[in-house]
Amino acid sequence: MARKSSTPTMWEVAERAGVSQATVSLVLNNVGGSRVAEATKVRVLDAVEELGFRTNAFAKSLRSGKSGMIGFISDEVASAPFAGKLLKGSQLCAWEAGNVILSVDTFNEPELEAAAIDMMLSYRVQGVVYASMYHRVVDVPAALAGIPTVVVNAQDRAGLVSSVFPDEELGGYTATKHLIGAGHTRIGMINIQPPDSDLPAGIGRLAGYRRALSEAGIEQDPRLLRYGSGIVEDGFDLTRDLWNEGDRPTAIFAGNDRTAWGSYRALESLGLHAPDDCSIVGFDNQDTLAPYLDPGLTTVALPYEQMARRAVELLLAAETPTQNPIECSLVRRGSVASAKVPA
């Protein structure tokens, strides 16, 4: 004797509710104008819950052309400790709109990326969020040309799809203006990339630093600018280098939180302490680092969840491609103090 399937069928739902299978289908697919009585809908939904019935989503997608899924293709976002908030924001926004996220990290492997795109097309995803772990200019794969796509935490080089990315210049401006507001006029900056780099993060943050100084009427002193690579060791070495200048800075804008950590360590090695001897502002707001420095690091937060939400909204709206810079907000902690008045 064949074993009875443990998976409840639409026929069993209909039998439990005392209606036809057609009525069950109308209720589950929320067909407008079906004139199914409210009491009947309640009986059907109760039967669905009691039996644990689940619709065949793949079969439904074949009929309707809509799967209720949104693809999320990234380099290493899902496995990154802080950029993973991009995936979280996408999931939450998709869920609110009645969709789920189908996510793949490709680790920059072209073959894996091609396979991920093929899989998502076979599942008839409504569109694809193409994400990057860090802000850069990307080339959207040609295989996505026929499907709605939005780039997030990056910018589409060709401008054929919408891009959502952090407003790096405004972030650098906000960080520097905060130090100026505390009375500092000798403000050093340690950038996170060399002068010839084309990455938007360092370019934008430096431009914001310069704009804030210019707006405040503070002369830009090239001796206060250093170029690192965004690692703790560079923050350490370049802070000590700044300290060897004849007219030392009273504040430092570090291009990211790891660089700021290096600045903390450099001050300590000199018998100094932030913010008493030098105020420090970082960038990123890494939640595994910034709150736990001593004192807690004042920094500018990358808006991962806000970017992801905006990307999904644009994807579902299917609007004309646009550029969407998202504000990076200041997170105040204890690393900034008022500038000391010379004796």
Task: Check pLDDT > 90 for residue 229.
Answer: yes
pLDDT in the model for residue 62: 46
CATH number 3.40.50.2300 is the correct assignment for the domain at 168-303: yes
pLDDT in the model for residue 59: 52
pTM: 0.81
Rounded-to-integer distance, Cα 96 and Cα 305, Å:
14
pLDDT in the model for residue 34: 60
Cβ neighbourhood burial of 302 (10 Å; 0-12, 13-18, 19+): buried
| CATH topology classification for 69-166+304-326 | Rossmann fold (3.40.50)
pLDDT in the model for residue 1: 39
Enter the CATH code of domain 10-55.
Answer: 1.10.260.40
pLDDT tens figures, 98-134: 788 888 888 888 899 999 999 888 888 889 999 999 9
Across 38-52, average pLDDT: 86
| Pairing state between β 298-301 and 330-331 | antiparallel
pLDDT tens figures, 274-300: 999 999 999 999 999 999 999 999 999
Residues across the chain: 343
Task: Check pLDDT > 70 for residue 12.
Answer: yes
Task: Check pLDDT > 90 for residue 2.
Answer: no
41-50, 60-69, 277-286: which is most confident: 277-286
pLDDT averaged over every residue in the chain: 89
The angle subtended at Cα 312 by Cα 145 and Cα 168, nearest 5°, is 95
Q: Are 333 and 296 in contact (CB under 8 A)?
A: yes
Range with the poorest average pLDDT among 42-56, 83-97, 207-221, 317-331: 42-56
Domains 69-166+304-326 and 168-303 share a fold: yes
Across 79-85, average pLDDT: 74
pLDDT tens figures, 252-281: 999 999 999 999 999 999 999 999 999 999
Q: Are 307 and 89 in contact (CB under 8 A)?
A: yes
User: Where along the chain do its domains lie?
Assistant: 10-55, 69-166+304-326, 168-303
Task: Check pLDDT > 80 for residue 180.
Answer: yes
pLDDT range class, residue 4, cuts 50, 70, 90: very low
